[in-house]
Structure 1
Amino acid sequence: MTSDIENLTEKTVNLSTDPIYKTNWCDMPEELKRECIGKMGFDERMLLRLTAKAERSLANSQSLMFHDGSFYIIGNHHYIDLTVDNGNDQRERKAKRNYKNPNDEFELMKYIWGVGVFENFLFFCDDPFFMEEVNYTGKIKAKNVDLVNCENGLLPKILQKMSNGVEAIKLSPDCNNLSEFPLDEILAIPQVQNSLYLQISNYDQADTLQKVAQVWINNNNSKIGFTFQLSTETHKLFNEFSKHFADRIVSESEKRVRIRTNNPDRHILLERGLDNVVTVDYHVQFFRLMVISAKMKESEYDDNCKEWISKMSSIYSFREWDNNRVQNVHVNENPENVANDEHVENREPIPEGIEDDDW
Structure 2
Amino acid sequence: MRPVHERLAATIAKRKNDRQNFEFWSALPEELRKKCIGTMELQARCRLRATSKTNKKLVESLELDVETLVLDGEKSVIKLKYRDGDGVLRCIFVVSNSSGFESGIYLIGWLMKSATIKHMQIMRFRSTSITEVEKQIINKMVPHKSSRISALHISDFNDIIFFFLEKMWTKMDRMKVWVRGGSDYSFDQLMKIPSFDYVKLFETSNFLSNYKNPCAVNAYFPIIQTWVENNAPVGKKLMALDVRRNGFSSFVKRFKSLLISQGHSEVVKAPVARIGTNNPSKHILGSLIEGNDKYKLICVIIPACLSPDLYHKYINSLH
* TM > 0.5 fold call: yes
Please point out which of 191, 197, 204 is paired with 1:193.
197
Tell me the equivalent position of 1:78.
76
Residue 307 of structure 1: how far off its partner (Å): 6.9
Residue 287 of structure 1: how far off its partner (Å): 1.2
- Write out aligned runs for 1:249-328 (5 A): 249-253=259-263, 255-274=271-290, 277-278=291-292, 282=293, 284-302=294-312
The structure-2 alpha-carbon separation of the partners of 1:248 and 1:307, relative to structure 1 and needing over 3 Å to count, comes to closer
Q: Counterparts of 2:302 and 2:52 in 1: how far apart (Å)? A: 54
Q: Counterparts of 1:198 and 1:119 in 2: how far apart (Å)? A: 16
Give the 3-state SS of the residue equivalent to 1:229 in structure 2: strand
Give the 3-state SS of the residue equivalent to 2:102 in structure 1: helix
Q: Summarize deviations over 1:270-294 as a string: whole Å, max 9, x none.
A: 11113xx44xxx2x32111100011
Q: Counterparts of 2:104 and 2:263 in 1: how far apart (Å)? A: 53
Q: Counterparts of 2:115 and 2:153 in 1: how far apart (Å)? A: 16
User: Given that residues 217 and 251 in structure 2 are in contact (C-alpha distance below 8 angstroms), is that contact kept between their aligned partners in structure 1?
Assistant: no
Give the 3-state SS of the residue equivalent to 1:84 in structure 2: strand
Please point out which of 68, 90, 93 is paired with 1:92.
90
User: Given that residues 153 and 182 in structure 1 are in contact (C-alpha distance below 8 angstroms), is that contact kept between their aligned partners in structure 2?
Assistant: no
Structure 1 position 217 matched with structure 2 position 217: no
Residue 131 of structure 1: how far off its partner (Å): 7.6
Tell me the equivalent position of 1:134.
135
Tell me the equivalent position of 1:348.
none
- Rg (Cα) greater in structure: 1
Residue 240 of structure 1: how far off its partner (Å): 1.7
- Write out aligned runs for 1:1-359 (5 A): 23=8, 24-74=24-74, 77-86=75-84, 90-93=88-91, 95-101=92-98, 102-128=101-127, 130=130, 132=132, 133-135=134-136, 136-137=138-139, 138=142, 139-148=146-155, 150-177=156-183, 180-203=184-207, 204-220=215-231, 222-253=232-263, 255-274=271-290, 277-278=291-292, 282=293, 284-302=294-312
The structure-2 alpha-carbon separation of the partners of 1:213 and 1:20, relative to structure 1 and needing over 3 Å to count, comes to closer
Q: Counterparts of 2:86 and 2:40 in 1: how far apart (Å)? A: 16
User: Given that residues 243 and 297 in structure 2 are in contact (C-alpha distance below 8 angstroms), is that contact kept between their aligned partners in structure 1?
Assistant: no
Give the 3-state SS of the residue equivalent to 1:238 in structure 2: helix
Q: Which runs of 5+ in 2 are unaligned?
A: 9-23, 208-214, 265-270
Q: Summarize deviations over 1:314-352 as a string: whole Å, max 9, x none.
A: xxxxxxxxxxxxxxxxxxxxxxxxxxxxxxxxxxxxxxx
Q: Counterparts of 1:191 and 1:304 in 2: how far apart (Å)? A: 22
Seq. identity, % = 20
Q: Counterparts of 2:159 and 2:252 in 1: how far apart (Å)? A: 31
Q: Counterparts of 2:54 and 2:27 in 1: how far apart (Å)? A: 13
Q: Summarize deviations over 1:44-95 as a string: whole Å, max 9, x none.
A: 2122134334323322332211111111110xx31111111247874222x1
Please, what TM-score do these two structures have when normalized by structure 2? 0.78
> Could you say which structure has the greater relative contact order, defined with CA pairs below 8 angstroms and 6 or more residues apart?
2
The structure-2 alpha-carbon separation of the partners of 1:292 and 1:304, relative to structure 1 and needing over 3 Å to count, comes to closer
Greater mean alpha carbon deviation, residues 121-130 or residues 299-308 = 299-308
User: Given that residues 218 and 262 in structure 1 are in contact (C-alpha distance below 8 angstroms), is that contact kept between their aligned partners in structure 2?
Assistant: yes
The structure-2 alpha-carbon separation of the partners of 1:227 and 1:304, relative to structure 1 and needing over 3 Å to count, comes to closer
Residue 303 of structure 1: how far off its partner (Å): 8.6
Residue 256 of structure 1: how far off its partner (Å): 1.1
Greater mean alpha carbon deviation, residues 37-46 or residues 124-133 = 124-133
User: Given that residues 300 and 315 in structure 2 are in contact (C-alpha distance below 8 angstroms), is that contact kept between their aligned partners in structure 1?
Assistant: no
Q: Counterparts of 1:61 and 1:264 in 2: how far apart (Å)? A: 44
User: Given that residues 163 and 191 in structure 1 are in contact (C-alpha distance below 8 angstroms), is that contact kept between their aligned partners in structure 2?
Assistant: yes
What is the count of residue pairs matched by the alignment? 279
Tell me the equivalent position of 1:329.
none
Q: Summarize deviations over 1:289-317 as a string: whole Å, max 9, x none.
A: 10001111111121997775xx9xxxxxx
User: Given that residues 167 and 195 in structure 1 are in contact (C-alpha distance below 8 angstroms), is that contact kept between their aligned partners in structure 2?
Assistant: yes
Q: CA RMSD in A?
A: 2.8
Q: Which runs of 5+ in 1 are unaligned?
A: 1-17, 312-359
Give the 3-state SS of the residue equivalent to 1:240 in structure 2: helix
User: Given that residues 37 and 45 in structure 2 are in contact (C-alpha distance below 8 angstroms), is that contact kept between their aligned partners in structure 1?
Assistant: yes
